[in-house]
Amino acid sequence: MSAGLIKHLKRKTEEDSNTKILMSQWEFDEKLVGKSLENVGSYYPHFSSHNKSHSQQILVNIERLLGSNIEKLTATDTWLILEAAYWHDIGMLFNADEVQDVIENEHFKDYVEELANNNVQDLHEFAKVWHNDGWEAALIHYDNPYKGVEKYRQMVAEWYRKGHAKNSNDVVLKPFEKLNISSPRTELLPKRIYRYLGQICWAHGLGFEDYVMKTLPFRQTGMGTENCHPRFVACLLRLGDLFDIDDNRFCPVMARQVGNMPSLSKTHDHKHQAIREFQLDNETVSITAICSTEMAYIECRNWFDWIKEEIQNQMSQWKNIVPSREFGLLPTINKLNVEMDDSKILLNDKPMKFSLDERSAIELLQGKNLYDDEINIYRELFQNAIDATYIRVWTEFGDSSPKPKLNKQSNPYSEEFLNVIRDYPISVSFTKIKDENDSDYSIWKFSISDMGTGISIKDLEYMQKIAGSSKNLERKKIINDMPLPIRPSGTFGIGLHSAFLLLEGNESPYNKVYIETRSIFDSNSYNIEMTSPISNNQGYCFIEKIDSNTSRSFGTTLSIYLRLKRRGMRYNSRLFDPNDEEKLVDEVQNTYDPIEQPIFDYLQIITKIGDLKNKIIKNIPVSVSLNKDFNNYDSISRHKDELIWDSKYNLFFGVSNCEKVNFLKGPSYRLNNLFKGQRVEPLTNFFIMPIFIDFYGFDAKDALQLDRNKWRKEFQEKMNRDDYFEDLIEHLLKNHLQAIRNQLKNDKFLSSILSIFSIEDPSIDKDLWTELSLFNDSEIKFSSDLKDKHSFKKLLKLSKLDIIKVNSKNNLNYVDFNTSSHKKTIMTTEFKKDSIWTNKFLEKWYLDSGYMVSDESNKDMITYSFKKSSRLENNLLMLLCQKFLNDDNSRISLSKSSLKRANLDKFTYLCCFSRAHKNIFGKDNTNVSKECLLLPFTKLFKNDNKYLNTYNLETLVDLVFEELKQENPTLKKEQVEESYKEIIILIDEKMKDDVLWKKARKHEDGFEPHNISELQKKYNFK
C-alpha cells in the first residue's frame, strides 16, 4: 500500500486549510474508483490485473522512484499522483448502452475489418466471419455458443482497451454520466484541476514528444498558494505503470474463466512469470527475466526497451519536467537482462526469425517474371487512373454526398453512372522527346492523365511502402461505401513499382516516374519525382509543393520515359495480331526506305497504341482518348447496349449468336471473361454455351495473381468446389431467359441447355432439343436408311442401332464405309460414352426396354450395339451397373431420384449418409448426394481382373443401421440386412446376361482383400 504518498497528502492538507478538499476528495475516490476497478476483470479476465492492486503497485513504484523527495511534493501534485494511479485505467470499463451501439460505430467496423485482414490475430477468424457475413453469423460460427460469446467479449474488450486512455480522460471529467461513479464534482475543486487529471491519464497511452512535452503544461497554479506540475505527474505515472512487471500481475482465478486464452495473453503471462530479479529505487533499476518461451523473450525484450526508451526520453527533457533541481535525477539503469532458459538457443541474443530482405523482395516485385507481357504494366497504370476516377465520382455524387446522383445499385454501365463519368475522361499520349546522339535509340514520353482524386500528402505516406495504400483507413472507408461493381480493383499497391520495369536501362533524368497531381482531399498541388528502390537513389521521392495560385485541375498525370530502338530493326509480321495498327506497321515497313530517317521507334509506338486500344481501353467504361485521335466512346455504347447486368452475381454477360447450331453440343465453348473491364485468362475451360462475362463481384486480392492477368489457383479451386458456374448459369437462365433467347437466336439449342439444368419455361417446348442431331453431321457417316433420322428423337425410336467408333478419319473402315451396305449404322470418330448427350440418350434408351452391347476387342474400331427387349421393361438399373463396372470407383451410390427412376422406390428408406458413406466418399464431397443408397457391391482390381464382391456386407449393414436408427428408433437391423440381400439378388438377376458382370462376380470366391495391418507392419506405421 502507498502509505508514504497518502501520509504526505494528509500532512500537507492539515498544514494548509486551502488544500483540505484534496484529502476529502481522495478519501472518496480511493474507495469509489477502487471499487469500480474491480469490475475490469469481468470484461478482461484474459488480461493482466488492472484493478485496485495495479493502482496501488503503481503508487509503490512512484514512491520508490521519489524516495525522500516525496517530502518536496506539493499537496496538489501528490493528489494528482494518487488520483491518476486510480483513474488512468478506468476507461477500460464501458456501459451497456455504449457496447450495444458500438457494432454500428464506423470506427468499430474499421477495427473489425483490420482484425479480419490480420491472419496472425487470435480473433482473425471470428472477425472475418463478422466482417463478411455479419455479427449473427460470427456468434454461431462455432460448435458451442460459449466460444462465439467468448470471442465477442474478447473483441469488444480489445476495442475498448485500445482507446482506454482517452476514455479515462472522459470518465474523469464526467464520472457519473459515463459510468455511474458518484465521485463528487463541486465548485470547491476547480474543473481546471480535473482537466489536468484527465490529461495526465490520457498521457499514459500517448507519445512522449508529441503529447507529454507538447500538450501537458510544465507548471500551473494548484490549490491555495501551491503550484502543480501536470507534466511531472504524467511522467511519474508512465514510469510507475511500466515498472508494474512483477510475476503476480495475472490472476489465476480470472484466467480460469477464459475458455481459450488468447496467445498474446499467454505470452504476457509468461513474460511476467519470467521475472527473476527486480530492484527499483531512486538511484538504480535492475531487472532480470529468464524466459521459457521465445515469444515471452520477445515481449520481455520489448518491455525492457520501452523502459529504457522512457527513462532516456525523460532524462533528455528532465529540466523541463521536474518541478525543481532539488528532486535530483531519475535512477540509473543498472541492468535490464533478458535470458532464455538453458534448453533454448538464441541467435545474436534474439530468437531466430524468418523475414524478407527488402531489396530482394522489391527486385522480385519489379522482376520481369511477374509480368509476362509489357501490356500488363500499362494496364496497372490505367487501373490506378480508373480507381482514382471512381473514388472521386462516388465522393462527389454518391448517395451520401451533397449532390447525390449515384446509388448502391449503380454499375459501370448504368445510365446514371455513364452520365456522370463522361465528365471525367482519361487521356493518354506518346510524345517523341529526342533521338540520342550517336545512338540507335530515341526517347519517348508516355503520359496518362486522369481527373480522379489526385494524391495528397497523406496518400504519399501510405504509398511509401508496397501495398501500403491498403492501410489507408479513410480511403478504405470511402471504398467500402461504394457499390461493389465500381469499387477500385487496384488493391495490390505494386502497379506503380511495375512502371520502373519500363525504365530499365534509362539514365537520369529519364529513369524516374514523374507525377503532377492535385488532391480533392486537401486541394494542394504537388510535383513528385519517384525513383526505384533498387536504383542508386534507393527509392527516394522528391516532392515539390506548387504555389496555390498556380492553376491545376484535380487529378493526376503520370509520365515515364521510354528508350526505344529507332534503327537497325524490323518486325516479323507473322507474329502480329490482325489489328489495324499492326496492319499499318506491316504496310509501312514494307513500303518505306529508312535511309533518310529511321522510323522503327514510331512503329513500336504504333504497335503499343494498338495493344492499348485492343487489350485495355476497349473494355473500360471510362472515356479514354489516345493521342487525341482515338477514343473508346463507341465501345462504351456497344457494351451498354449488348451486355446484360446481373445484380446478384455482380457481372455483365452476353451470349453469342448460335443460329446455325443444329446438333447437341456439350461443354465445348471456352469462356471469354474480363475482370472489371480488363482481360484475364479464362476462369474455366469449357462452357455449355458461348458466353462472355465481365466479373465485378470479386475482390482482386482474393481472385487474381499479382500480375492481375491470371486467376489465383486456390480461387479457381474454390469456385469449382462451390459449383459456382453451375449455379451461375442456372441463375442466369432462370432470371434472364428472354434476353439470352434474343441473343442466342436458336430455341432448339436453348432448349437443350434448359434440359441440362432441368429448367422449364412455358414459352419454350421442353422437348424441342430432341429435334437436334445427336452428332455433328460433318464428323459422321450414316447408313442410307438413316438419311432423315439424325435427330435425338428419331434415333431413339429405332429398335436397333450400331455406332462404330474409329480412331481417326484415316481408318480404312471409315474411308471405305459404304452407306448402302450397312443398316441402321453410324460411323464416327467422336462418340464418347461419358458425354452429356450420350448419357441422356443411353438413359432414355434403357428406360424404354433398351440395352447396349459393346465389342471392344479392336481398339481401333469399337462397335456399340443398341438393342431393345421384346418385352416392355425399365433397364435403368442395368445401365447404372454397367457404368459402375467400367469406371474407376470401388463403390456406387444411388440417389433417391435414381432409385425412383429405376423403379426401386421400396429401397429409398436405406438412403442416408452414414460413416460408411463418409469413409468412401468423404464428408464434404459435393458430388455425392447426402441421402443416397450405398450398393452392397465392392469393385476391386488385381492382376488386370475386376472383382465384384459383397464381403463387407455385414459392416455396411451395421453402419447404415447405426445411422438410420437415429431417425427411426423402431427400425430393426434384420430389416436392413434383408433389404440389402434382396438388392444383391435383384441386381444379379438383372445383369445375368451381361458377360463382364458375370465374370467379375465369378471372381468373388478367390479374392483376398488387403488388410491395413499388413501395411502398418511393413512400414512400421503406428
Can you read off the three cell numbers belonging to residue 407? 446509388
Q: CA-to-CA distance for 3 and 5, rounded, in angstroms?
A: 6
Burial environment of residue 754 by CB neighbours within 10 A (0 to 12, 13 to 18, 19 or more): buried
Percent of the chain at pLDDT > 70 equals 94
> Are 640 and 652 contacting, i.e. CB atoms less than 8 angstroms apart?
no
Q: CA-to-CA distance for 25 and 69, rounded, in angstroms?
A: 24
Output the pLDDT for position 534: 66
Distance of CA 789 to the CA centre of its chain: 54
Question: Which amino acid is it at 905?
Answer: D
Calculate helix-pair angle for 75-87, 164-173, nearest 10 degrees: 120
**Domain 363-565, classified CATH 1.10.287, yes or no:** no
Taking only the tens place, the pLDDT of each residue in 897-915 is 999 999 999 999 999 999 9
Considering the chain, what is the average pLDDT of its residues?
88
Count the neighbouring beta carbons within 10 Å of the beta carbon of residue 543: 13
Can you read off the three cell numbers belonging to residue 344? 533454448
Looking at mean pLDDT, say which of 343-357, 723-737, 1000-1014 comes out highest.
Answer: 723-737
- Please check the confidence at residue 491 and state whether its pLDDT lies above 60: no
Taking only the tens place, the pLDDT of each residue in 643-684 is 899 999 999 999 999 999 999 988 888 889 999 988 898 888
Which residues are 704's β-sheet partners? Answer: 711
Q: CA-to-CA distance for 429 and 444, rounded, in angstroms?
A: 10
Task: Kindly state the average pLDDT of the residues 422-442.
Answer: 93
> Are 323 and 72 contacting, i.e. CB atoms less than 8 angstroms apart?
yes
Q: CA-to-CA distance for 577 and 574, rounded, in angstroms?
A: 9
- Please check the confidence at residue 752 and state whether its pLDDT lies above 90: yes
Can you read off the three cell numbers belonging to residue 757? 439444368
Q: CA-to-CA distance for 395 and 407, rounded, in angstroms?
A: 12
R_g of the chain, CA atoms, integer Å: 39
Q: Which of 785, 873, 870 is nearest to 826 (CA)?
A: 785
H or E stretch at 430: strand 426-435
Looking at mean pLDDT, say which of 300-314, 537-551, 628-642 comes out highest.
Answer: 300-314
Q: Is the dihedral of CA 89, 93, 98, 104 positive or negative?
A: positive
Task: Kindly state the average pLDDT of the residues 503-517.
Answer: 89
> Are 658 and 746 contacting, i.e. CB atoms less than 8 angstroms apart?
yes
Burial of 564-574, coded b for 16+ CB within 10 Å and e otherwise, reads bebeeeebeee
- Please check the confidence at residue 686 and state whether its pLDDT lies above 50: yes
Q: CA-to-CA distance for 47 and 89, rounded, in angstroms?
A: 13
Taking only the tens place, the pLDDT of each residue in 910-963 is 999 999 999 998 887 767 777 899 999 998 888 778 889 898 899 999 999 999
Taking only the tens place, the pLDDT of each residue in 563-605 is 999 988 888 776 666 677 888 888 888 788 888 889 899 998 9
Better-scored residue on pLDDT, 495 or 119: 119
Q: CA-to-CA distance for 342 and 340, rounded, in angstroms?
A: 6
Where does the pLDDT of residue 714 fall: very low under 50, low under 70, confident under 90, or very high at 90 and above? very high
Can you read off the three cell numbers belonging to residue 1009? 482383400
Taking only the tens place, the pLDDT of each residue in 518-532 is 999 989 999 999 887
Which residues are 868's β-sheet partners? Answer: 850
> Are 89 and 158 contacting, i.e. CB atoms less than 8 angstroms apart?
no
H or E stretch at 227: strand 227-228
Taking only the tens place, the pLDDT of each residue in 125-135 is 998 998 888 88
Maximum CA pair distance of the chain?
131
Taking only the tens place, the pLDDT of each residue in 169-189 is 999 999 999 999 999 888 889
Q: Which of 141, 164, 163 is nearest to 152 (CA)?
A: 141
Reading phi first (left if > 0) and then psi (alpha if -120 to 50, else beta), residue 922 is in: left
Q: What is the DSSP letter of 167?
A: H
- Please check the confidence at residue 791 and state whether its pLDDT lies above 80: yes
Question: What are the residues whose beta carbons fall under 8 Å from the beta carbon of 678, sequence distance 6 or more?
Answer: 379, 383, 489, 616, 619, 708
Output the pLDDT for position 793: 95
Q: CA-to-CA distance for 574 and 678, rounded, in angstroms?
A: 26
Count the neighbouring beta carbons within 10 Å of the beta carbon of residue 76: 25
Can you read off the three cell numbers belonging to residue 615? 487489350
Task: Kindly state the average pLDDT of the residues 406-421.
Answer: 92
Output the pLDDT for position 596: 83
Task: Kindly state the average pLDDT of the residues 228-254.
Answer: 89
Can you read off the three cell numbers belonging to residue 725? 458456374
Taking only the tens place, the pLDDT of each residue in 806-824 is 988 999 989 999 999 999 9
Taking only the tens place, the pLDDT of each residue in 11-52 is 999 999 999 999 999 999 999 999 999 988 888 888 888 889
DSSP output for 309-326: HHHHHHHHTGGGTSS-GG
Q: Is the dihedral of CA 492, 493, 499, 505 positive or negative?
A: negative
> Are 251 and 41 contacting, i.e. CB atoms less than 8 angstroms apart?
yes
Structural domain spans, the chain: 3-340, 363-565, 644-764, 773-865, 877-1019
Can you read off the three cell numbers belonging to residue 910? 436405406
Q: CA-to-CA distance for 424 and 451, rounded, in angstroms?
A: 5
Task: Kindly state the average pLDDT of the residues 474-483.
Answer: 87
Strands 932-934 and 630-631: unpaired
Question: What are the residues whose beta carbons fall under 8 Å from the beta carbon of 392, sequence distance 6 or more?
Answer: 424, 451, 452, 453, 520, 554, 555
Q: CA-to-CA distance for 16 and 13, rounded, in angstroms?
A: 5
Output the pLDDT for position 492: 47
Among all chains, which residue has been given the C-alpha cell 428408406?
909
Count the neighbouring beta carbons within 10 Å of the beta carbon of residue 375: 16
Where does the pLDDT of residue 364 fall: very low under 50, low under 70, confident under 90, or very high at 90 and above? low
- Please check the confidence at residue 971 and state whether its pLDDT lies above 80: yes
- Please check the confidence at residue 258 and state whether its pLDDT lies above 80: no
Count the neighbouring beta carbons within 10 Å of the beta carbon of residue 595: 6
Output the pLDDT for position 657: 94
